[in-house]
Amino acid sequence: MDKVTKTISAIQGADAKLMAQAQHRLDNLTKPQGSLGELEVIAKRIVGITGSMHPALTRKLIFTLAADHGVTEEKISAFPKEVTAQMVYNFLTGGAGINVLARHAGAKVVVVDMGVAEKLKVQGEESKTFKDKKVGYGTKNFTKEPAMTPQEAIKSLTYGIEAFEEELENGIDIVGIGEMGIGNTTSASAITACITKASVAQTTGKGTGIADKELAHKIAVIEKALRINTPDPKDAIDVLAKVGGFEIGGMAGIILAAAANKVPVVIDGFISSASALLAFTLEPKVADYLIASHSSMEQGHRIILQHIGVTPFLDLHMRLGEGTGAALAMGIIDAAIKILDEMATFESAGVSKKD
């Protein structure tokens, strides 16, 4: 817990004074005020996060964390849990959606095993972008007992912090988070319902593509889990331990570490936003560092973003995860910074300003 506590204590809010300076420059660029909409909002926020009027976001990194979930025993997913390990190998060989979109964005992908239910065999070149931070071989079935122990919950947060700090040694200007874990929309829905007080029916969607009958079963499974485990909505570690996942805890740890080091965090969809919800519950100042890349097709996603107070700027009907939305958003964030940095002011361009 020492590393988690130390990391949280290092988190400060974004630099309001610099954000005001950025807003002044944006208002004096050769355009009607506010006419570039969310691009201006993003640029100002990046300035406040990084503490620089000329932020460079060249070193882009996306973490894709993987873990299995014991609740898959309840048949709440369209895919078997073996897919988690199979997809990790796909990530490492560069064949997944996140790999394609990260290459497009110029971002490095680091895959982290937080709790895959088998021992992964990674060697050679693939080991350079892989981290073994396994807390356990999948969580327990939380309809029968807590998903993990409080100690494992703290360990998952700690391992996420460590993964970020290890990569920070090589430099990180902006970080995205994504995940892979069959059954993890069930955990995310439970976390969301618990902390936001929304109903399970409101926070639960079809995940990998289950039918209406299976959705009703999934909702009943989550309601049972919350009833049996009674997680404390004000205690993020208790919520994580009782209905969470190792990869969800790991992403929350990455968010805390990024905020402590003044690095913007691009959250992906529903699962990574559930991690953001946990991090926000631990320390509300992390909201200053969160950039919501897109609005997922999972209905619980919007409930999380409203609770934290961040607005997504893409809506592409996506629900893949892996960090794909974060990768797409990085190009738009780059564009926002270039507007702030490269666009002429009325004065420098000799353009008459509106009276």
276 contacts 209 by C-beta, under 8 angstroms: no
The answer to whether 2-54+340-349 and 60-335 have equal CATH topology is no
User: How much is the pLDDT for 309?
Assistant: 97
CATH code of the region 2-54+340-349: 1.10.1610.10
Domain edges within the chain: 2-54+340-349, 60-335
Cβ proximity of 296 and 319 under 8 Å? yes
Q: What angle do CA 286, 289, 292 make, to 5 degrees?
A: 105
Contact 226, 194 (CB under 8 A): yes
Edge-to-edge strand list for the sheet holding 130-132: 130-132, 107-115, 60-67, 174-180, 265-267, 290-292
What is the topology classification, in CATH, of domain 60-335? Rossmann fold (3.40.50)
pTM over 0.75: yes
Q: Whose CA is closest to 203, among 308, 315, 293, 303?
A: 303
Question: Where do the H-state alpha helices sit in 178-211?
Answer: 184-196, 200-203
Summarised one tens digit per residue, pLDDT across range 100-132 is: 999 999 999 999 999 999 999 999 999 999 999
Q: Rounded to an integer, what is the distance from CA 267 to the centroid of its chain?
A: 3
Query: Among 48-52, 194-198, 317-321, which stretch is predicted with the lowest mean pLDDT?
Result: 317-321
pLDDT in tens, 28-42: 999 999 999 999 999
Active site residues: 322
Residue 83: in which H helix or E strand, if any? helix 82-92
> pLDDT per residue over 131-174, tens digit each?
999 999 999 999 999 999 999 999 999 999 999 999 999 999 99
The string over 297-309, giving b where at least 16 C-beta atoms fall within 10 Å of a residue's C-beta and e elsewhere, is: bbbbbbbbbebbe
